[in-house]
């Protein structure tokens, strides 16, 4: 094997200035981008689209054909950013030019055969099926010896890079812990060390419930809140009340509660500007292997970009890219809006 072969395969490169990593997937070219070719992506009303590579029975890129599925449907991404069998390799030139091969898997999960639905418009039992499928994927991928982290996420709406309006999520399993999760693990361990082994998220949720300033919605199993440190205008988190590390550890009633909360939050989102509300959301879960039970408290982040209308979005520019994130409307005013909209549901 040529010493430079790693350049052609998925790898991560070290930012020598910050110590954080960038995932690079040179093999991932020719991705389909259905969004650009389709007008009014967010307002899809047809239950089946013959040109959609996610609809049941249709052909996908690379020649595979979807089964005529009736519930959820998961498959390996045809344009995966990560591959399970990429050769090992990399470079370390004086701690400055540093790259390592990164192996992993990218899966796609269709929520429903219906092309025109979204979480906001699905029933709680149908969303529960999605939660169950995510839990199964977490177990299956996490059981692979090389996998360190499994992140489930959804890009909803063209504004957040969804390449196809058909309701679906992605599951990326990686050999190393990605930056954002690594930061939370370090902070969580530091908080535990200085607070008698306590879980930072258990303690934070208890404080927020007591203060009742930033709670959007609660049910038996989970809490929806706007975090005190929120960056995006209508950013939110969904946190299980019980200390669980991953989706598969949720009990049946907790999965129903999560499904209910996901529906409530996304319907409130759609009412903010009376149009389909784009967001990226995803779950942070405990490490896939070798994790202590207190490793990480499962939670979902909802990161929606819209600011003042369906057309005015927040961008990270200037000082935000070079210094730190900044916001004008406070998390407390955002939560007041969301709470009112949840009340109207």
Q: Which position among 115, 156, 214, 314 is part of the footprint of Zn ion (CB under 5 A)?
A: 115
Does residue 199 bind Zn ion (CB under 5 A)?
Answer: yes
Does residue 284 bind Zn ion (CB under 5 A)?
Answer: yes
Does residue 54 bind Zn ion (CB under 5 A)?
Answer: yes
- Site track for Zn ion across 8-47, x = CB under 5 A: ----------------------------------------
Q: How many helices (H) and strands (E) does the chain have?
A: 7, 13
Q: Which position among 166, 168, 286, 287 is part of the footprint of Zn ion (CB under 5 A)?
A: 166
- 243 noted as active-site residue: no
CB of 145 to Zn ion, least distance (A): 25
DSSP 227: -
In the sheet where 97-101 sits, what is the strand order?
21-24, 11-14, 97-101, 90-93
Report the C-alpha gap between 333 and 326 in whole angstroms.
Answer: 15
Does residue 52 bind Zn ion (CB under 5 A)?
Answer: yes
How many C-beta neighbours within 10 Å does residue 259 have? 24
CB of 120 to Zn ion, least distance (A): 17
Does residue 238 bind Zn ion (CB under 5 A)?
Answer: no
Name the active-site residue from 115, 168, 299, 301.
168
Report the C-alpha gap between 331 and 266 in whole angstroms.
Answer: 17
Candidates 99-107, 129-137, 284-292, 330-338; binding stretch for Zn ion (CB under 5 A): 284-292
CA end-to-end span of the chain: 60
Report the C-alpha gap between 209 and 149 in whole angstroms.
Answer: 30
Q: How far is CA 150 from the centre of its chain?
A: 10
Hey, which residues are catalytic here? Answer: 168
| Residues engaged in binding Zn ion (CB under 5 A) | 49, 52, 54-55, 115, 166, 184, 199, 201-202, 243, 284, 297
């Amino acid at each position: 094997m040529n010493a430079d072969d790693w350049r052609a395969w998925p790898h991560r490169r070290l930012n020598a200035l910050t110590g954080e990593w960038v995932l690079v997937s040179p093999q991932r070219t020719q991705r389909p981008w259905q969004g650009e070719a389709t007008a009014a992506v967010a307002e899809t009303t047809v239950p089946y689209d013959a040109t959609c590579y996610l609809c049941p029975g249709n052909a996908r890129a690379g020649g595979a054909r979807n089964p005529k599925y009736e519930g959820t449907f998961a498959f390996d991404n045809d344009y995966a950013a990560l591959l399970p069998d990429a050769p090992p390799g990399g470079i370390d030139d004086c701690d400055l030019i540093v790259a390592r091969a990164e192996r992993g898997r990218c899966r796609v999960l269709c929520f429903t055969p219906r092309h025109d639905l979204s979480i906001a418009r699905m029933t709680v039992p149908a969303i529960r099926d999605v939660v169950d499928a995510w839990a199964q994927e977490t177990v299956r991928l996490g059981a692979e010896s090389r996998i360190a982290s499994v992140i489930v996420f959804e890009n909803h709406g063209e504004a957040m890079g969804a390449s196809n309006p058909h309701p679906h999520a992605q599951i990326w399993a990686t050999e190393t812990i990605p930056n954002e999760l690594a930061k939370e693990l370090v902070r969580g361990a530091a908080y535990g060390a200085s607070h008698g082994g306590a879980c930072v998220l258990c303690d934070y949720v208890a404080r927020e419930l007591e203060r009742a300033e930033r709670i959007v919605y609660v049910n038996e199993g989970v809490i929806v809140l706007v975090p005190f440190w929120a960056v995006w205008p209508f950013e939110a988190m969904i946190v299980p009340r019980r200390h669980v590390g991953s989706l598969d550890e949720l009990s049946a009633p907790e999965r129903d509660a999560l499904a209910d909360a996901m529906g409530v939050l996304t319907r409130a989102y759609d009412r903010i500007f009376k149009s389909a509300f784009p967001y990226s959301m995803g779950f942070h879960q405990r490490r896939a292997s070798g994790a202590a039970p207190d490793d990480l408290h499962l939670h979902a982040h909802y990161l929606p970009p819209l600011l003042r209308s369906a057309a005015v979005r927040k961008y990270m520019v200037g000082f935000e890219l070079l210094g730190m994130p900044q916001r004008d409307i406070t998390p407390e005013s955002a939560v007041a809006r969301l709470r009112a909209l949840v009340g109207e549901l």
